[in-house]
Amino acid sequence: MYQQPPAGAWQTPPEQPGPAPGVEFAPHGERLVAYILDALILFVILIVAVVLLGGAVLTGSDFSAPNAPQIGPFAAISGLLFVLFVIIVSVGYFPFFWARGGQTPGMKPFGLYVVRDRDGGPVGLGQALLRLVGYWVNGIVLYIGFIWVFIDARRRGWHDLIAGTVVVKR
């Protein structure tokens, strides 16, 4: 037979600490669209680099050689610059913007910011790089780390948990 619990025995669970007043955790859809915008911006930057520096490599190469094309010094230097540019832009895009102002160009239209989870302060370069490593971890495990945003009460993905960050909307 069911018995009523004694008065005062039931307590509501403590409220999960949230962001400061006037700030909310970033909505899922806006985070996704912001990431897509950033991916498009990065894609355009890299395509422009391919056209400009790739063209420089091709113009410095001699394709009239009978066995194999000959690469001149200008083409070799251009190719090295191209590879360095692609690596720097690809690796540095997100951490640069996260550490600089807390938001990437794709996040600006939505008022989204990456902040420290413990106190809502700005993210440093080391923390931003750690967050990028978290992105790579998410990709390695079939994007489960990104899907974790739907499970976590504070809407943090694995990259946020690894770096100690949270995305908020102001």
pLDDT for res 51: 84
Question: Residue 68: pLDDT above 90?
Answer: no
Residues 6+ apart with CB under 8 A from 50: 82
Residues 43-73, buried b or exposed e (16+ Cβ, 10 A)?
A: eeeeeeeeeebeebbeebbeeeeeeeeeeee
pLDDT for res 69: 61
- Which has the minimum average pLDDT: 22-26, 59-63, 71-75, 125-129? 59-63
Q: What is the mean pLDDT of the segment spanning 46-60?
A: 76
pLDDT for res 83: 86
Question: Residue 8: pLDDT above 80?
Answer: no
Of residues 78 and 80, more confidence is placed in: 80
Q: What is the mean pLDDT of the segment spanning 122-126?
A: 97
Question: Residue 37: pLDDT above 90?
Answer: yes
Segments making up each domain of the chain, as ranges: 24-169
Q: What is the mean pLDDT of the segment spanning 6-18?
A: 66
Per-residue confidence band for 49, with pLDDT thresholds at 50, 70 and 90: confident
Of residues 157 and 16, more confidence is placed in: 157
Two tokens at 89? 């832009």
Per-residue confidence band for 10, with pLDDT thresholds at 50, 70 and 90: low
Say how many C-beta atoms besides its own lie within 10 A of residue 6's C-beta. 7
**Torsional sign, CA 64, 65, 67, 69:** negative
Q: What is the mean pLDDT of the segment spanning 34-62?
A: 83
pLDDT for res 82: 83
CA distances from 154 to 72, 77, 151, 163 (A): 55, 48, 9, 14
